[in-house]
Chain A
Amino acid sequence: MKIVVCAKQVPDTTEVKLDPKTNTLIRDGVPSIINPDDKAGIEAALQLKEKVGGTVTVVSMGPPQADAALREALAMGCDEAILVTDRAFGGADTWATSSTIAAALKKLDYDVIITGRQAIDGDTAQVGPQIAEHLGIPQVSYAEEIVEAEEGKLVVKRQFEDRYHIIEVKTPCLITALAELATPRYMTVHGIFDAYREKEVKVWTLEELKDTVDMANIGLKGSPTNVKQSFTKQAKGKGLYYKDLSPEDAVETIVAKLEERHII
């Protein structure tokens, strides 16, 4: 089974702090990581490979430094890594991103494509499903478990708001992974050394994708949406603090306050 995983390098948002004066994110010195849902996708791909055989190729679109995320994926056990990078791809929204990644995927042979559900720096959850649409293949989003895998089909447990769907899907297909899909393994020590000393990260620029890419749909110019303004929500009032109340009095006080404001 040929498995391709799409992974994004993102700033570790758990390490991002707010500048108390300007209320903006301090990104300096924030480590970059593989997006957690994507990392679960890598793990799921490796488990799938261990179960049914095959290869795992990891693809990332991003600036040259995304090389580090791909080396990490190689160190976890992925067979091949491809970095899709070109200044022409920069400034992309989800549409231009998915168009570019789909153009890269068209050059690969695949049975299953796994993407993370969403990235922690954007939270759109759009790129995975859009890739499937560009490629014209079926998709299962919000995958929590790959229940069965065999030649030609997968059975996937899909998380829904109030229920699960068990979906049988023909390959080639795309699934978007929730973090729950798989707990990422540790990189192995030899994997780390091999990732830098023996394996390579292939670099695909616009030149490599020229037969498959649609120039109107890439980069900033190919992005129908753009972020007009980004700001941190203002903190609301200070809140009220009642001290030394018995549980009964506390309940009564809180309920009275909520009623006063017509919240209940």
Chain B
Amino acid sequence: MDFTLSKEHLLFRQMVREFVENEIKPVMQEMDETEEFPREIWEKLGPAGLLGIQYPKKYGGQGGDYLAYVIAIEEISKYCASITSGIAAHSSLATWPIYQFGTEEQKMRFLPELLSGRAWGAMGLTEPGAGSDAAMQQTKAYLDGDHYVVNGRKCFITNAGEAKYYTTVVMTDKTKGNKGMSILVIPADAPGFTIGKHEKKMGIRASATADLIFDNCIVPKENLIGREGDGFKMIMQTLDVGRLGVGAIGLGIAEGAIEETLKYVSQRKQFGKTIGSFQNTQFELADMKTRADSAQLIIYRAACTKDAGLPFGMYACMGKYYGATVGSDITRRCVQLFGGYGYMREYHVERMMRDAKIVEIYEGTSEVQKMVIAGHMKVGK
């Protein structure tokens, strides 16, 4: 058992930190205020290789691994969870099903664009009536000659309006329930496909979130991923992979908040001394650091297990669940240490606390993660 990062992972982390320092830190606060999707930054993510880290070079990826991917998500999330929410949607949810279940022709058609960042991706799963109960899909598709006709609506879709490809879950046979689901890659310019209004959110305000609306939308049948009816199985596996990155978002936010707080408590004086010299502050920060490091270990283990080709699903769930938990818990406590200043938008911890909340909700709520973990444990069986 080795708890040290390899030299290549350390150098990779250094590269991500340089990118964050130059490209993200200067604008992160403004991005939150304007609620605008930061296209200029996204246009730099691809050339830097940050949109295809864990995929083979053959398809335009970088030939890295999942450990590198979670390190990138963690590092960027320390300063901006809006961007990493989009990266996770792009790199895991939109891209992975194509890579894992697509034909060679489909991989060559979609992956080079997605992995290089010439095109961005999104995933359409959630619907107004299908959240945690993902099987309640209402969006329907039927085959009509050489194309599918899609009707329905997806909601809360990350990267909506910005993505070129939407990896979308549809019901191809409603009578079969879970076994009637399929996955289609729907291009942004498909006839009958429109994007709903931009949602205004509590946090991750610079990520694009909107509905996908399909009104007799025409999708070439060559865009069916895997077989008709295998959609649910494929999507569950996709979510397992996606959780690796999402846990790292919560972790990164927590670490970023601790970093901000450490600076603050060594400057802020009350009762004639810095608040960092009070034992309450020290105990709070020691406890937070221990929790954040625990989350990091769980998440890194999940990523390394995936890289080793071993079953990682439960570890990924634990990482997602605990990463989300420390994100919310630690940011709230950091705001408390900041006192009134922490409630002001001028200080980053205010934004971090708002951003952290979503990690307990999207890509499977914390409750859903616990259901899955309990399932792996065969609780009550």
Contacts and interface: CB of A to CB of B under 8 A. Distances in A.
A194 B8 CA distance: 9
Contacts of A71: 7, 11
Contacts of B106: none
Interface stretch (A113-121, A126-134, A152-160, A182-190): A182-190
Contacts of A75: 11, 15
Contacts of B49: 188-191
B11 A189 contact: no
B367 interface: no
Interface residues of B, number: 20
Contacts of A72: 11, 14
B112 interface: no
A189 B48 contact: yes
A186 B62 contact: no
B19 interface: yes
Nearest to B7: A196
B48 A197 contact: no
A226 to B, nearest CB: 34
A105 interface: no
A187 B11 contact: yes
A193 B14 CA distance: 13
A196 B9 CA distance: 10
B112 to A, nearest CB: 14
A75 B63 CA distance: 13
A192 B19 contact: no
A196 B7 CA distance: 8
Contact of B48 (A68, A186, A196): A186
Interface of B: 6-8, 11-12, 14-15, 18-19, 48-50, 52-53, 57, 61-64, 68
26 contacts: A68-B11, A71-B7, A72-B11, A75-B15, A186-B15, A186-B18, A186-B19, A186-B48, A187-B11, A187-B15, A188-B49, A188-B62, A189-B12, A189-B64, A190-B57, A190-B63, A192-B11, A192-B12, A192-B64, A193-B63, A193-B64, A194-B63, A196-B7, A196-B8, A196-B11, A197-B8
